């Protein structure tokens, strides 16, 4: 083998080993990207579940609020007033209760 052929062989050996190291590095990077992608997918799924749960909770709270409003509208308030008061005082008491509703 001549010196020129040995130089080419050395160059090719160097090129092959460099490409092999590059391939190993790329494989490592791809594996890390796959892990990050999986973690991101899981995080998005958790957020979607939390968002659905939050909207369901809001709907339940809203429905309960509507139920309270409808039950309050149907409420009969019983007031016991002390006899012997002036009619004007009783009217003021009743009017003040109407304002609070």
pLDDT at 87: 77
Q: Which residue has the higher pLDDT, 45 or 95?
A: 45
2 to 6, 7, 12, 75: CA distances (angstroms): 6, 9, 15, 108
* pLDDT, tens only, 20-54: 999 999 999 999 999 999 999 999 999 998 888 88
pLDDT mean across residues, the chain: 82
Q: In sequence order, what are the residues at sequence separation of 6 or more whose Cβ sits closer than 8 angstroms to the Cβ of residue 2?
A: none
Helix (H) or strand (E) holding 100: helix 87-100
> Would the pLDDT of 5 be above 60?
yes
């Amino acid at each position: 083998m001549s010196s020129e052929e040995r130089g080419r062989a050395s160059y090719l050996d160097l090129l092959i080993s460099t490409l092999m190291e590059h391939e190993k590095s790329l494989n490592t990077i791809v594996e890390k990207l796959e892990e990050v992608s999986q973690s991101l997918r899981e995080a998005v799924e958790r957020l979607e579940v939390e968002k659905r749960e939050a909207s369901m909770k809001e709907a339940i709270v809203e429905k309960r609020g509507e139920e309270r409003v409808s039950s309050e509208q149907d409420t009969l308030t019983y007031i016991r007033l002390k006899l012997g008061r002036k009619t004007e005082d009783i009217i003021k008491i009743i009017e003040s209760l109407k304002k609070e509703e």
